[in-house]
Amino acid sequence: MIIKTIENPETCGNVKMQGNVIVGFIEKPKQKKSFTYMVNAGAYILNKNMIPDDTSNYKIESDYYPEVVHSHIIKGYFHNGERAHLQDEETFKKYQDKK
């Protein structure tokens, strides 16, 4: 998982790390204070055997990470560059126009 440090972590999936291993994950925490300023930047490298064949209703942030985070198999890698939340094609196009 690519990790980014941001000022408003409550808008993203928060991660807690020990070294480069992710040991905690909360998707968009409801509490006012998140447990870290480190967040899931939304880029992953996965083994295809780790997710189900039918992903039509599958969300990695809520279906996969909470189940496996305690097994300490997820590694985190920090990204210090720019971050953009590209949740749909319209947002992507707006971001491209800014460049």
**What's the whole-model pTM score?**
0.69
Asked whether the beta carbons of 35 and 25 are under 8 A apart, the reply is no
pLDDT score recorded for residue 20: 93
The CB density around residue 77, as the number of other CB atoms within 10 Å, is 11
* Residue ranges of the chain with per-residue pLDDT less than 70: 31-35, 84-87, 99
State the pLDDT at residue 85.
67
